[in-house]
Amino acid sequence: MADHETEARDIDRVAVVRNLQQSTLFREYQQAFEATIGLPLVLRVAGSFQTPLQGSKRVNPFCTLMTQTNATCSACLRLQQRIEEDAAHAPRTFECHAGLAETAVPVRVGNHVLGYLQTGQVFLRQPSRKTLEKLTVIMAGRGPGAGTHCWKPVYLRTRVVAPKQYQMIVRLLTIFAEHLSTVSNRMLIAQTVKDTPWVTKMRTFITEHYGEHIGLHDAARLVNMSPFYFCKRFKGAVGFTFTSYLARVRIEKVKDMLLDADLRVSEAAFAAGFQSLSQFNRVFLRVTGEAPTSYRLRLLENKGKPARAPLLVAGRC
């Protein structure tokens, strides 16, 4: 619990998700998904209150029409909150009051949920007469866009997707979410063209000196800022606190070093700048979602190499 709370404090989810949204990986996948599948896809930050699938060019016209009425918009936001609460650990699909399915798939950095891949706004079956009658009652008196002549033609043009086909679509998003989670740390510590000069300078400094002791005051002095102001600016620009960012850079260096089957986990940890194994194990688990020895074994098994057994000495990995 303590590690989870520390991670929550160290991450600016809005900044991190914004960086992921702007990444080439996500933008290309979103474009391919929407062009091939024909459904909207967005990456939404956890805890945000925004209309469903905001930002996609494939939003259902009926849903766009409904956002013009306050009562309908409020119902959609309540559904978003319900989906998010239930999708913290696995993909979840719900139907809104109009019978349209929406799905959220969690995206994580380690054990921390950053946001959700979201798609839907389709029927999983043709709407029945009873559904239409119920919706007509609900929509009565909800503003200029709520008259039957306005919403019904648009509503009935909504795409119908067979449940099994939709399950496969959700599976595709689950695989992509897992991939995003796997590469997110490396993506998020990478330099971007939008970095300001002082952020670029700091990223370069950390990359060149990660194996050394780097204190907060030293880092702030390098860019001529006070420690307090530096912390605030750095987290706002990068999405992580300075300490968390430095730890993540070191974790990526360890992961690279673990490709060498002859190098012990403990040796890689100390070479990357960690001062103790207990700190390293805790940070590695928090960032990657698994223990370093488990990651090492899985990595080497995937490469088809025999893993050297861990040294069975108290306090060592």
Kindly indicate the confidence band of residue 70, based on its pLDDT and cuts at 50, 70 and 90.
low
Task: With a cut of 80, say whether residue 281 has pLDDT above it.
Answer: yes
pLDDT confidence of residue 311: 37
Kindly indicate the confidence band of residue 302, based on its pLDDT and cuts at 50, 70 and 90.
low
Distance CA 293, CA 295 (A): 5
pLDDT confidence of residue 14: 77
Assigned token pair, 304 = 């088809």
Per-residue pLDDT, averaged over 44-72, amounts to 77
pLDDT confidence of residue 274: 94
pLDDT confidence of residue 315: 37
Mean pLDDT of the chain: 82
Kindly indicate the confidence band of residue 136, based on its pLDDT and cuts at 50, 70 and 90.
confident
Residue 24 has phi, psi (to 5 degrees) of -60, -40
Per-residue pLDDT, averaged over 295-301, amounts to 80
Structure-model confidence comparison of residues 133 and 188, the more confident one: 133
Tens digit of each residue's pLDDT (9 = 90 or more) over 154-165: 889 999 999 999
pLDDT confidence of residue 53: 81
Q: Quote the DSSP letter at residue 117.
A: E
Distance CA 267, CA 292 (A): 12
The residues facing 223 across adjacent strands are: none
Kindly indicate the confidence band of residue 5, based on its pLDDT and cuts at 50, 70 and 90.
very low
Per-residue pLDDT, averaged over 10-34, amounts to 84
pTM recorded for the entire structure:
0.71
The residues facing 95 across adjacent strands are: 101
Rounded CA Rg of the chain: 24
How many contiguous H segments (helices) and E segments (strands) does the chain have? Answer: 15, 4
Residue with tokens 């993506």: 187
Of 9-18, 24-33, 69-78, 277-286, which range is least confident?
A: 69-78
List Cα–Cα distances, 66 to 171, 178, 196, 303, in angstroms: 29, 33, 40, 51
Per-residue pLDDT, averaged over 164-177, amounts to 95
Kindly indicate the confidence band of residue 238, based on its pLDDT and cuts at 50, 70 and 90.
confident
Structure-model confidence comparison of residues 251 and 9, the more confident one: 251
Domains annotated on the chain, with CATH: 2-187 (3.30.450), 197-303 (1.10.10.60)
Percent of the chain predicted with pLDDT > 70: 84
Structure-model confidence comparison of residues 256 and 84, the more confident one: 256
pLDDT confidence of residue 180: 85
Of 19-23, 163-167, 299-303, which range is least confident?
A: 299-303
Kindly indicate the confidence band of residue 71, based on its pLDDT and cuts at 50, 70 and 90.
low
Structure-model confidence comparison of residues 113 and 106, the more confident one: 106
Nearest CA-CA partner of 160 in 197, 134, 119, 126: 126
